[in-house]
Amino acid sequence: MDTAVKLLFFSEPDMIKAGVKNMKECVDVMEDLLVTLNKGDYVMGGKNHNSHGCMVTFYDDPKFPGMPKNADDRRFMAMPAYLGGRYQMAGMKWYGSNVDNKAKGLPRSILMMMLNDKDTGAPLALMSANLVSSYRTGGIPGVGAKYLARKDATTVSVIGPGVMGKTSLAAFLSVCPNLDTVKIKGRGRRSIDVLIDFIKAEYPQVKNIEVCDSVEEAVKDSDIISFTTTVRDDEASFPYINEKWIKKGALISMPSAARFDDEFLANRCKLVVDNYKLYEAWEEEYPYPSYKEVQIIGTKFTDLKHEGKIKREDIIDIADIITGKYPGRESDDEIIVYSVGGMPVEDIAWGGTIYRNALKQGIGIELPLWDKPDMA
């Protein structure tokens, strides 16, 4: 009986060689994933099997030397899941986040991912996951644009030109062939310039790049509006979007938070989410009002449901649009707000795909766990 267990280690350069930055493939994988979720062939954490993950945060006034102090985006997070369908794999993304990393030349979050055999639990791979996470985060908005944006969309605005803004834009450009104008609103010049350099290097179809001084300027006349801003734990501080600024027929893609008038959300736009069960889980984990805690627009939808301003059936799962159960865009004037929450199954889908690509290409460093377990 062969009891040896080995796993593969993938550095970030290994992941790039294996195709982690192939956004077109990533969007296709995310679309398949969303349909798989809709069928129910997955398990995430928590009693409801739909938890985003388990977060470790710190005290505002720690009483022990060396213990980190609470701050914006200061956390550790474990995101485990099993995914069926064509993936048939379990795994977990684990990361630490600290905004002070930027002063050290490091990303705010540093992520790793473990993939496991679904039957034995044996590790299959340990991989660098910053690019897995950022590309799958962009891929889900890409699926939304494929099914919800106007076919003649030409202008996209990026409000928050960080990593999520960059990969969301890459996804939009991969599925909307007529996009030729990008509007950018950021807090600092450095992130704006990084995004401009990325666009010029990778997307010659973009003919116009406009840097905007205000959110209003960025929103106006845009066919796709991407909000990927970092916000504080206070809904009143979220950026405000006046309905009058929004172009008829716009798609508003939101892996983040903003303030809209309740009347607009309840009565004058279509509300779409990436996976409604995730928002039900957040309702349980962060009881009403959930939005100020979770800071994903879909939890504003569930808050409105709690208040009786909308009904459950007013919140549509993107997979129900993909599979034809519900219509997507119903007119060229319809405004659609699309919530992107982020789920560990997305990491398994894209990480597992890259793992299999790497196996075919002979990429990765083999690490022995044991030839024979000492205690079996």
* Whole-number pLDDT of residue 294: 92
One pLDDT digit (tens) per residue for the chain, 376 residues:
899 999 999 999 999 999 999 999 999 999 999 999 999 999 999 989 999 999 999 999 999 999 999 998 899 999 999 999 999 999 999 999 999 998 999 999 999 999 999 999 999 999 999 999 999 999 999 999 999 999 999 999 999 999 999 999 999 999 999 999 999 999 889 999 999 999 999 999 999 999 999 999 999 999 999 999 878 777 888 999 999 999 999 999 999 999 999 999 999 999 999 999 999 999 999 999 999 899 999 999 999 999 999 999 999 999 999 999 999 999 999 999 999 999 999 999 999 999 999 999 999 999 999 999 999 8
Predicted confidence (pLDDT) per residue in 3-62, tens digit: 999 999 999 999 999 999 999 999 999 999 999 999 999 999 998 999 999 999 999 999
* Whole-number pLDDT of residue 217: 98
* Whole-number pLDDT of residue 1: 87
At residue 98's C-alpha, the angle toward residues 364 and 69, to 5°, is 135
Predicted confidence (pLDDT) per residue in 3-18, tens digit: 999 999 999 999 999 9
Q: Which residues are registered as beta bridge partners of 310?
A: none
Q: How many whole angstroms separate alpha carbon 333 and alpha carbon 22?
A: 32
Q: How many whole angstroms separate alpha carbon 224 and alpha carbon 172?
A: 9
Q: How many whole angstroms separate alpha carbon 27 and alpha carbon 163?
A: 16
* Whole-number pLDDT of residue 302: 98
Q: Which residues are registered as beta bridge partners of 317?
A: 273
Query: Are 42 and 352 contacting, i.e. CB atoms less than 8 angstroms apart?
Result: no
Contacts of 197 (CB under 8 A, 6+ apart): none
The pTM of this model reads 0.95
Contacts of 63 (CB under 8 A, 6+ apart): none
Amino acid at site 127: M
- Domains assigned to the chain: 5-132+345-370 (3.30.1780.10), 138-342 (3.40.50.720)
For residue 273, the Cα-to-chain-centroid distance in whole angstroms is: 12
